[in-house]
Amino acid sequence: MARVRAVYGRWRRDTPVAQMRADWDRLFDATGEAAFEPLIAGGVPCAWITAPGARTDRAIVYFHGGGFQVGSLRSHRELMARLSAAAGARVLGVDYRLAPEHRHPAPLQDALAVLQWLRGQGFAARDTALAGDSAGGGLALGALLALHGRGDALPAAALLLSAWTDLAATGESYETRASADPIHQRPMILAMARNALGPDGDPRDPLVSPLYADEQALAALPPLLLQVGDRETVLSDSEAFARRVNAAGGQARCQVWPGMVHVFQQFPHELPEARDALDEGGRFLASHLGRATSGDTSA
């Protein structure tokens, strides 16, 4: 957390966004033991991250976090490499467009373009899973809801790390975890939401805040595993979303990791919990990849 605070502490209101992105990339810069193959998928910059021995006929599409403003394939390369190893499948990292240059729905448009490209490459829905952290976790859920809304087959499962599901920041954990969370407080979260949405954006739009999706859409989601730290102010984003999915008849399991902070999985060298969480998340995805999902009639 000292490393993270050092980065945040250098940022001021006039810090250029390019500087913030460079700082964030350096904070998490590690390659991991996996092949890294840049490509353009559906017009979107992406990269295949393939751990040794991972299957290439299965794909985990990964959306990085960073409040829709920072984060990249570089900052999340090691996390994706470890997830590829744990799941035994290739990861397709998505370098979606970021705010303030590109606000919602630009990230969702990029996510859907990549998923359409993947189907065009011969990947059936059952051979595809989604994953993401923080804003990227919310983006993964938004993509699932958008696919459901247009009647497309859904990926087999999704792994969500400290997912940001409520850009209106209404969760009780903003109060109960305020003193425990070393970084994220409600004013900061709301500022990031305004930056991502623009002045006319609706923070309760289900495609950007999946917590507000209707019961029919929630029930249609594939099996979900949500991992979140007990010290996070966004704890409620995962807990409340999982409750809503299960109440609607879907399958969502929420794991609350004691003592952990926001996206603790990005610290695998320092935290054994990070390694354990990624291993469990990989096993979860592997257990669902290759299985037919509701509405999947593809070969």
Residues involved in catalysis: 134, 232, 262
Helix (H, G, I), strand (E, B) or coil at 217: helix
DSSP conformational letter for 132: E
183 vs 8: CA distance, rounded Å: 8
- What token pair was written down for 182? 């070393």
CA angle at 223 for the pair 221 and 225, rounded to the nearest 5°:
115
| Sequence-separated contacts (24+) of 22-30 with Cβ below 8 Å | 24/66, 24/70, 24/71, 24/72, 24/75, 25/72, 25/74, 25/75, 27/3, 27/75, 28/74, 28/75, 28/76, 28/78, 28/79, 28/266, 29/74, 29/75, 29/77, 30/77, 30/78, 30/269
Question: What is the phi/psi pair of residue 71, to 5°?
Answer: 95, 150
